[in-house]
């Protein structure tokens, strides 16, 4: 599994997979860490196609945020589906991440 990513303003937009569970976590985590390691420290994570996640999947998002912040950047979330949004809200992650509905607004957040 490779994740699509493209430049979006001053940030990098990464499309996350439809399923983000423990089995998918290592690949996604490594991809995001590589991007940050290459200096793309401002990430917009597109959750528009993701319709299922578990807490291990969520921890990938937090790892990425921590890594980006350590490198002087940030991570924001884009367009989560309703179930993923409910999971983010239940675990209070909507207070940890900025969440945007619109890609350009997300890119402008950095």
Partner 1 sequence: MSETTLGPVLLAEDSMAERLRLRVILEKEGYQVREAEDGQAALELLREEDIPLVVSDWQMPRLSGLELCRRVRGELGRDNCHFLMLTGRGAREDLLEAFAAGTDDFLTKPVDRDELLARLRVGQRLHNLQADLSRQYQQVRQALDSERQARALVDADLEAASLLQQELLPARFMRRRGLDLAHLFRPAAGLGGDMLNHVALDEQTVGFFLLDVCGHGVAPALLSFAVAHALGEMFAEARANGEVAPEKLLQSLNRRFFDRSGNGRFFTIVLGLIDLGSGRTRICQAAHPPPLLLRDGGAVEEVSGGGLPVGVFEQADYQSTEITLQEGELLVIYSDGLTECENPAGEQFGMPRLSALLSAQRGHSPERLLQTLQDSLIEWQGGEQLEDDLSILVLARRPATDEPSLELALQSRSNEIADAVDHLRDWLAEQGLVAEMAFQFSVCLAEVLNNIEEHGYGEETPGPIALLCRVQEDAVTCEVHDQATEVETAPEGSLSPGDVEDGRGWFILRSWMDRVEYVPAVSGNRLRMVKFISADQAATGQPGHST
| Interface ranges with partner 1 (CB under 8 A) | 19, 21-24, 52-56, 58-59, 62-63, 66, 83, 86-87, 90-93, 95-96
Tokens of 47: 């959750």
Task: Count the Cβ atoms, other than its own, within 10 Å of residue 24.
Answer: 21
Tokens of 106: 């997300």
List, in order, residues 6 or more apart from 89 with CB less than 8 Å away.
none
Provide the minimum distance between the beta carbon of 83 and partner 1 in the complex, in angstroms, as a whole number: 4
Identity of the residue, 8 or 61, whose beta carbon is nearer to partner 1 in the bound complex? 61
Provide the minimum distance between the beta carbon of 103 and partner 1 in the complex, in angstroms, as a whole number: 25
List, in order, residues 6 or more apart from 39 with CB less than 8 Å away.
71
Identity of the residue, 7 or 66, whose beta carbon is nearer to partner 1 in the bound complex? 66
Identity of the residue, 13 or 93, whose beta carbon is nearer to partner 1 in the bound complex? 93
Identity of the residue, 38 or 82, whose beta carbon is nearer to partner 1 in the bound complex? 82
Which of 36, 38, 5, 12 has the alpha carbon at shortest distance from 110? Answer: 12
């Amino acid at each position: 599994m490779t994740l699509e990513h493209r430049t979006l303003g001053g940030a990098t937009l990464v499309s996350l997979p439809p399923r983000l569970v423990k089995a998918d976590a290592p690949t996604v985590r490594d991809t995001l860490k590589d991007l940050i390691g290459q200096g793309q420290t401002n990430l917009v994570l597109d959750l528009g196609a993701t319709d299922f996640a578990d807490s291990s999947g969520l921890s990938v998002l937090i790892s990425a945020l921590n890594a980006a912040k350590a490198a002087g950047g940030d991570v924001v979330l884009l367009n989560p589906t309703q179930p993923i949004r409910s999971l983010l809200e239940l675990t209070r992650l909507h207070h940890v991440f900025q969440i945007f509905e619109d890609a350009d607004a997300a890119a402008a957040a950095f």
